[in-house]
Amino acid sequence: MKKLLLFLIAINLTGCSGNYNFAWFSINPFHAQGSSNIEFLIGGLFTTISVSLISLILAAILGLIVTLPKLSSKKSINFINITYVEIFRSIPVLVLLLWIYYGLPSIFGGSLSFNPFVAGVITLVLHESAFISEIYRSGIQAINKGQVEAAKALGLNKTLVFFKIVLPQAIRIITPALLNQGIYILKMSSLISVIGLSDLTRRANELIVTTYRPLEIYTFLVLEYLVLVLIASYFVRKVETKFEIK
């Protein structure tokens, strides 16, 4: 069975290499058409970065809010966190995106509808806040309980102890995981192209329709995301070094 599979793959690759006429000039910056194509493709960069940054910021805020019920000693309140996290961690991003963009307007008769940008941000925020909530929880639980008891002994109430003592230290601890989650959001943002958002992926798909050069255009798209992720990873390491996170 394995030999047959390898044989079929080999035939397929051989067929592709024999029939496909490469046209790398279509993404060559020194060629007129290539330069025009690249300019069009890069035009979606701002949208991709905007969606990713806004989603990360809002997901970090919502994730903290969702974490708070988990810190309660009452199981009935804990259930709020557990329900939210389990629901949004279980739904695939693409399915959630389609439901928010196409499903909600159907339920509310069109009175509640979002443009692709807003629908994409809502989707990423809901999905990622569930994961970020768990990141917050792990960071908060890592704080030495002795510090909390000492703060209470000084007369600080629970709210002040949390926001003045626990949370700042927890954020310092979770910074690497939180920033890496931001890189994941950057990659997941490409899914929003299916509902018409003019990001990097959408522009690549539109260009393929007119040029019929899927290999070349998608190769450039791969390089775009590769460069974006590498740059983001570089800054993540810089931030980690600045915070002296070991």
At 206, list the tokens. Answer: 């539109």
Question: What's the rounded Cα separation, in Å, for the pair 180 and 236?
Answer: 8
Class of domain 44-242: mainly alpha
Tell me the domain boundaries of the chain: 44-242
Residue 239 and residue 171 in contact, taking contact as beta carbons nearer than 8 Å:
no
Question: What's the rounded Cα separation, in Å, for the pair 154 and 133?
Answer: 29
Residue 123 and residue 100 in contact, taking contact as beta carbons nearer than 8 Å:
yes
Taking only Cα atoms into account, the Rg of the chain, rounded to an integer number of angstroms, comes to: 23
Question: What's the rounded Cα separation, in Å, for the pair 144 and 136?
Answer: 15
pLDDT in tens, the chain (246 residues): 444 344 334 434 444 555 778 888 889 889 998 899 999 999 999 999 999 999 999 999 999 999 998 888 788 888 999 999 999 999 999 999 999 999 988 887 767 888 999 999 999 999 999 999 999 998 888 888 887 778 777 777 778 888 888 888 888 889 888 999 999 999 999 999 999 999 999 999 999 999 888 999 999 999 999 999 999 999 988 887 876 644
Question: What's the rounded Cα separation, in Å, for the pair 164 and 155?
Answer: 13
Question: What's the rounded Cα separation, in Å, for the pair 243 and 246?
Answer: 9
Question: What's the rounded Cα separation, in Å, for the pair 13 and 7?
Answer: 10
Residue 105 and residue 119 in contact, taking contact as beta carbons nearer than 8 Å:
no
Structure pTM? Answer: 0.86
pLDDT for 18 equals 55
Residue 115 and residue 46 in contact, taking contact as beta carbons nearer than 8 Å:
no
Q: How many CB atoms lie within 10 A of CB 75?
A: 8
